[in-house]
Every structure is written in C-alpha cells, then in structure tokens.
Amino acid sequence: MSLDIATALPSYGEVVRYISQVEFHPPLYYILLRGWTGLFGAAEAATRSLSLVFSLANVLLVYQLGKDLFRRRSTGLVAALVFAVLPMQIEFGQEARPYSMVCFAGTLAVLAMWRHLRGGGWKWAALYVAATVFGLYLHYSFFFIVAATSLWWLIEASMAAKGEHGRNLLAWLVVHAAVFLTFFPWLDAMLAKMLLSRLDIFGVPSFQMPYRNVGFFGIAYDQLIWLTKQKGVLQVVIFSQFLFKSCFVAAVLAVVARLERPLMKVSEGRAALLLVWLAVVPVALFLFAPFSVSYSQIIVRHLIIVTSPLALGMAAVAVALGRKRGTLLVVLLLVTLVPALAEVTGNDGTWDYFHRLRDVGEYVNDNYRPGDLVIIVSTAGRTDLTHFLREEIPVVGLLPLNYYGLDMWASRHVLGFVENESQTRSSVGINGIGFDVGGDGMAVSAASVGRKLDYLDKKYSSSRIWLYGFSDTDRLVHDWFTDHGWRHAFRSLGELFPVDLYVRPTP
C-alpha cells in the first residue's frame, strides 16, 4: 500500500493531496519513498532499503547518545549492540513503513535536547526542532515522544538556577513554538481525521474499544524487547525471559546500593532518570490512544522509539556492574533474544496468509481467463492483492457490504476514501463474515451479502469468480454461489491458501 501510494499517483502534489484527504498518516514517508524509488527503483529490496538506511543510522545515534549520557564509550558500544539485535529493530528496519525513521527522529531529538541543555548552544536546539518536525510529519505516533521530551525539557528549565531560569524557559517556549508553527500547515488534516474517526461512514460505525488487556504494560515492554507474533511461546522461553528480568532487577539494586551519594547528585543520575522517563511516558500515553487496541499483530510498533532508552538503560546497568558481571548480563539477554530473532527473520508466510499475496497473485495470473473477477474479503486489502495481479484482472472487496465502489479517489492502485476509512470500522479477518457477525459494523445477513454479490455479478458479468480471504465458515458467501448454480472449481486450503474459484453455470 505504501509503495502504490508513493508511485501510482501522478505527482508529489497529488500524493500530498491524497494523503491529506484519504490516508490516516502524515505525508513525509510517502514523499521520501517516492523519491527513493525514483532513484533506486521499486523492487522489493530497493523499497525496503529506505527503512534499512535509517535503522543503521539509528545504531550510530544510540552509540553516541549512550556515550554522551554516561560519558563512557563502553556504554555507547554496549547500547548499540543491544539496540541492533532487538527484534523490533530488525523487524521494522527492513519493512517499507516509516517506523525505523520515527525511531531515528526520536533518538536524534533526545540527543539534540541533551546537548542543548548541557550548554551546547542554539545549533542543538535547531536540530531538536528539525528532528521533531521530521518525526511528526512521518507518523502521528511521534507525539508520544514529543510529549516526553518537551515535558522533560520544561522540568529541567524550571529547575535551573535563578539566573538561568527565565532564559531556559524562554528557550523552551521558542523551540516548541517553532515546532508548532512548522507542523501547523498539516494540523487541519490531522484534526479532520480525528473527527472523522468518530463518525459513521456509509452507515458503518467507528470501531471504538475502551477496554485494554489488564497486563497492557507488561505485554508492551515484553514485545518491545522480545517481539513475537505468536499467541503463545515455549515454557523455556518464558522462563529465560523471567530469569533475565530477575537478574536485571538485582543488577539495578546492586548498582544503586553501591552509590555513595543520592542518584540525582551523581553525574550520570539525571541521565538515568531521563531514560526511565523516556521509557515510561510514551507507553503510558499510548494506553489512552484509540489505536492501542490489538487491531494488528504488532501494535507496539507505535512505541518503537522506546527501544532506544531500553537499550541504553540495559547497557548502562551492564557497564556499571563491571566487565565480568556486565558481560554475563548482556550474554543472558542475547540468549533470551534468540527465539524472537529466529521468528522475525523467518518467513511470515508460514503463518499469515496475507504474507503470501505474491503467491496468490502468481497463481491467479497463471490461471486467469478473460472475464474473471477477483473478490477479496475486505476492500481495505484490495490494492494489496492488486499489486501482484495482472493489470487487466479486476479486483473488488466485499466488505463493507453497502459500499459499491463509488469513490473519486479509488483507483486500481490506491484505496478510496470509504475503503480506507473502513479499516478503522472493521475487525474482519479470514473468518470475517462467518466468525465475526457484524464485522463490518453492520448486520451481516444473507440478504445484505446477496445484494452485494448480485450487484458485482451484474456489473462484471464474470464467467469465473475468484474468492480470496474467505473461509469455509463464510457460508453466506458460498451459499450464494451454490444457490445460483455456480460450480466450485477450486477449493480453499484454509489459512494456508485461502483461494476459491467458482465457475458460472453454462446456459
């Protein structure tokens, strides 16, 4: 979807206009991706490499930040090592989405703020503004780190000596006014999306869930360090993580017990408190964000910036323990990361059918006949599948049921306004209609499914119809074909390969 938005629209201006009116996100990532693919092509490796460049640069930033905070090169080196092997960084350091860039911008903003507050001058304040604006135009989740950095800066300015107090507060005001004014041109688009998220679109209510898992914070931090996409893991993996957590807590207590002065009076004490602040505030704010529900496999990607203070904190404790004990602590962490690393570097297609769109596309392409139609379970995935299909093959979505494709923005390669909005108003998966009655926010019935399929049949007059993403339990769909005499020419292999082919009865 990111690639098609960046490349299918005719100009940079049209990309920005599309993003402002249709997409949920700010425009910068799509602009950068358009320029990047213009230089290096739109092949898979080239498209993913934009994220990789920023992810690798982030390793260097973490090293420098660790060196600055604790005035030890060893802390920066250990932090860079830990950061570089965190599964979250490996997962999104090679995905064509803006999250590694968001993390880069956040780490750079923290580094610039720290150096400015330590007497580095206005050039570091200017870099803070640039990094913050860069992050805000990449993704709205950057507001979590902006809240943390701006509040920390304000607290430090308020605690300054009398002679510096007023000047520091003025600097804080000027810097954040600059951030606000630079982001202001996009503010109306962001607020419009926030308002739309509360409204019904095409009679489909917005998906609002006030409840969260009682273990929200524990799950969030576990995912940030030991990312997994599975519902359960082996007992030995759980025990190894518990063992590391126990050792880490004991290590923190040992380091604090050795201090001869209160933490705030130790030169590195304020740096340690900053890391705790940066690791806690974004996660606490995320709890109250509407998109903190489990709407996708990895919702903590919105908190990817927190991996920086986590890596720095673990490195600081390991170095403070001394070489032998610190090395043991880091080795234990690395051992616990092995299962998660094996998972994120593995093939997601072995468990998630949406990571096999290329295979599905190639199969349909090889067996396509003129007059075929492809129906995907939800319009939100229409362009994803279309990306891998021949240009002449029409693709439509079934859900939402009362949407019939009348949308000025919809094209073969980009979603229309209603299609895009349906993503926040639908909880449809492979068993969308069969298991999630009312999954598109409406009452799913044989009549509503029948009306939509009747309309598509009349519009396309297809001799064969491919279904993608439907299960055997989606009886309302399969029964329509059976009742109208269609022959089941190819049956779905379940989540392994959820493709069906129906052939129109011969007159």
pLDDT digits (tens, 9 = 90+) for 26-71: 999 999 999 999 999 999 999 999 999 999 999 999 999 999 999 9
Determine how many CB atoms are found less than 10 A away from the CB of residue 421: 24
Predicted local confidence at residue 203, as pLDDT:
66
Are residues 86 and 157 both part of a single domain? Answer: yes
Q: Which of 346, 363, 379 is the last residue in one of the domains?
A: 346
> Would you say residue 130 lies in a domain?
yes
Are residues 206 and 71 both part of a single domain? Answer: yes
Are residues 31 and 84 both part of a single domain? Answer: no
Are residues 429 and 293 both part of a single domain? Answer: no
464-468/372-378 β-pairing: parallel
Are residues 387 and 314 both part of a single domain? Answer: no
> Would you say residue 471 lies in a domain?
yes
Instruction: For the chain, list residues with pLDDT below 70.
Output: 161, 163, 202-205, 207, 260-267, 425-443
Taking the C-alpha atoms of residue 290 and residue 50, their distance in angstroms, rounded to an integer, is 29
Predicted local confidence at residue 232, as pLDDT:
83
Are residues 290 and 149 both part of a single domain? Answer: yes
Q: Yes or no: say if 102 and 135 are a contact pair by the CB < 8 Å rule.
A: yes
> Would you say residue 294 lies in a domain?
yes
Taking the C-alpha atoms of residue 409 and residue 416, their distance in angstroms, rounded to an integer, is 5
Q: What is the 3-state secondary structure (H, E, C) of 230-293?
A: CCCCCHHHHHHHHHHHHHHHHHHHHHHHCCCCCHHHCCCHHHHHHHHHHHHHHHHHHHCCHHHC
Are residues 262 and 390 both part of a single domain? Answer: no
Taking the C-alpha atoms of residue 79 and residue 318, their distance in angstroms, rounded to an integer, is 10
User: What are the tokens at 434?
Assistant: 């069969």
Give the domain range for residue 10.
1-42
Instruction: Write the single-letter amino acid at 35.
Output: G
Are residues 108 and 134 both part of a single domain? Answer: yes
Are residues 141 and 275 both part of a single domain? Answer: yes
Taking the C-alpha atoms of residue 362 and residue 360, their distance in angstroms, rounded to an integer, is 5
Question: In Å, how far are 416, 428, 463 from 412, measured between CA atoms?
Answer: 10, 22, 21
Are residues 37 and 56 both part of a single domain? Answer: no
* Torsion sign over Cα 291, 296, 298, 301: negative
User: What are the tokens at 338?
Assistant: 């092995």
> Would you say residue 94 lies in a domain?
yes
Predicted local confidence at residue 202, as pLDDT:
66
> Would you say residue 199 lies in a domain?
yes
pLDDT digits (tens, 9 = 90+) for 418-437: 888 887 765 443 344 443 43
Are residues 277 and 405 both part of a single domain? Answer: no
Q: Which of 327, 346, 365 is the last residue in one of the domains?
A: 346
Alpha-carbon Rg of the chain, whole angstroms?
26
Helix (H, G, I), strand (E, B) or coil at 72: coil
Return the DSSP state at 117: I
- Reading across the β-sheet that carries 487-490, which strands appear in turn? 395-399, 372-378, 464-468, 499-503, 487-490
> Would you say residue 47 lies in a domain?
no
Domains: count for the chain: 3
Q: Yes or no: say if 375 and 468 are a contact pair by the CB < 8 Å rule.
A: yes
The pTM of this model reads 0.92
Hey, what's the torsion of the CAs at 112, 115, 119, 121, to 10 degrees?
-30
Are residues 88 and 151 both part of a single domain? Answer: yes
| Enclosing H/E stretch for 465 | strand 464-468
> Would you say residue 38 lies in a domain?
yes
| Enclosing H/E stretch for 398 | strand 395-399
Q: What is the CATH number of the domain that holds 451?
A: 3.40.50
Taking the C-alpha atoms of residue 485 and residue 451, their distance in angstroms, rounded to an integer, is 17
Predicted local confidence at residue 103, as pLDDT:
98
> Would you say residue 11 lies in a domain?
yes
